[in-house]
Structure 1
Amino acid sequence: MRPFFGLLSDKEADFFLDRMEKDEADDIKQLLTYKQGSAGALMTTDVVTVTGSDSVADVLYRLRHSESDAETIYYLYVTDTGNQLTGVVTLRELIASDPQRRMDEIMNPQWISVSADTGQSEVLQIIRKYGLLAVPVVTHKGTLLGIVTFDDVLFNL
């Protein structure tokens, strides 16, 4: 999204943003505040989050029947009520788990993350080093902001 809006004048960008749904326009405005080439500028905020108390069956039902805005679902991010990242669940783990198990029972409580100001080349190094398909972007307090996928990094080099 940033490359498109980055090519526009402020007046042209405002023209398009004024015609978008408020939530989507607010997301784009927030992303435009991050330095170009940073994880914040590359990330998507459309992330699938679950709570630790959600059951596997409930999450699978939600994924199958809801209209998720997430363009890519490689991992499910377990967050608390303050949107603090507490763990990560792979789709493979979700599918292979007993439907009655809870997310906090199958999540990995140790995860790799980056901050919004992490540079693009460092994000790519982290994704390569750990073999990730996506990396969460968090604040210094652990609040989940979004994710950067491997293709976001590669296509923006």
Structure 2
Amino acid sequence: MLENEPTDAQSEATDEVRSLFGEIYAAWADNDADAFVASYRDDATVVMPRAYHRDKQEIRSSMAAGFQGPLKGSRAVDEPLSIRVIGGHTAIVVSRAGILMAGEAQLPVDREVIATWDWFERMGAGSSPRMPMRRPTENRVEEPNPQGVRC
């Protein structure tokens, strides 16, 4: 095996991360806040410009309000640029992301961001098997927010 070649466990973890992105953004496309946070732990945290959600319920409430308001009919795009698996239970994902508002076919360049997701697997009996956490990176593009979208 080459030194930088992913192991089977890393490939499996990378596939799991891509699957989670698919689940989360399918829920977004359906405007389903409950499904959107289904893989989040109760103590998950989301930190983004102009938004800080301290737990799963805050994340869910914010998404539900958005789906009933400015995010209705929108969909998110999140293309992983890098997925690093650490120790088999943690993944750090850097992605190109943005929100396509209702009726948009292409993401406007001024709304494209680079985001970092920290994904941890919680171990132990009766625990949720996975939890995404998202935080902005230093490369995150700050743009005006004319629609007041907070998610």
TM-score (norm 2): 0.28
Judging by fraction of residues, say which structure has more helix: 1
Higher Rg of the two aligned structures: 1
TM-score computed with the length of structure 1 as normaliser: 0.27
